[in-house]
Amino acid sequence: MRSGWAGIVSKFHPRRREPDLAMPLDAPIVCVITRGRGTRGSQEQLTLLRRLGAAMHAGATMIQVRERHMDDRSLLAFVRELVAASHGTTSRVVVNDRADIALAAGAHGVHLKSDGVAVADVRRLLPADAIVGRSVHGVDEASAVAAAGACDYLIFGTVFPSSSKTEDHPVAGIDALTRVSRSVQLPVVAIGGINVSRAIAAQKAGAAGVAAISLFTEAPEMDRVVQELRHALTSKEGNV
């Protein structure tokens, strides 16, 4: 976490969320990871907030805020807007790495990078009902995180070739996803090159759901993609 944590939390007070959401995360998990470039109040950002709100009402399990270009004030305001938009839905808003922003904005939790701080350290900073997830890239890492406790879910990838990664970026493949899913009791969410057919393949490999960036950000209607994924992953042929 960044050094400005104490200053942000002392200056801003977390807004109350809606009543506690049921835990644990129920499959199928559909996680929308944000990729916006607009500045605060810009038409681009307002459009993104509207699209993310529609995705939440369509059944997105989580919105993972991954806006690395934003300064702290802009990020805090953006997360607060998303938390407000989540009211009346079962969607959770989690913030990438920034427990300080999540706490100040009243978000539902934090998602940690594979090389980030320990889950238990972040857990101690957050409300008891917060969710904390972590990215992992292999069986040993997944098993270690699960054994340490305090984690609610794992995101594993890159499972399939992804347009958001360079051509030489390692691709884990479906067999690796199967091994990771079998190695832990935590929900494992597949990421990387996800589309509807690959989401079904990931589910058959043991994943509790999927996460994506480009699939949602490049779609004309983000909410329709969420609906298609949920329908595919809850069909009679699925494993849910």
What's the CA gap between 28 and 125, in Å, rounded?
28
Phi, psi dihedral angles at 44 (to 5 degrees) = -60, -45
CB 171 within 8 A of CB 157: no
Residue position matching structure tokens 């407000």: 84
Tell me what the pLDDT averaged over the chain comes to: 88
Query: What ranges do the domains of the chain cover?
Result: 25-233
22 pLDDT more than 70 = no
pLDDT grade, residue 69 (50/70/90)? confident
The sign of the dihedral angle between the CA atoms of 167, 32, 216, 65 is negative
> What are the pLDDT digits (tens) for 125-171?
999 999 999 999 999 999 999 999 999 999 999 999 877 666 666 88
Just give the CATH number of 25-233: 3.20.20.70
Helix (H, G, I), strand (E, B), or coil: what is residue 62?
strand
Question: Residue 6's pLDDT is what?
Answer: 42
What's the CA gap between 97 and 237, in Å, rounded?
36
What's the CA gap between 224 and 219, in Å, rounded?
9
Question: Residue 24's pLDDT is what?
Answer: 67
116 pLDDT more than 60 = yes
- Among 214, 149, 209, CA closest to 181: 209
Percent of the chain residues topping a pLDDT of 70: 85
Question: Residue 14's pLDDT is what?
Answer: 46
pLDDT grade, residue 88 (50/70/90)? very high
Percent of the chain residues topping a pLDDT of 90: 78
- Take residue 60 and report the two structure tokens written for it: 């997105």
Alpha-helical regions (H) of 149-183: 174-183
Q: In residues, how long is the chain?
A: 240
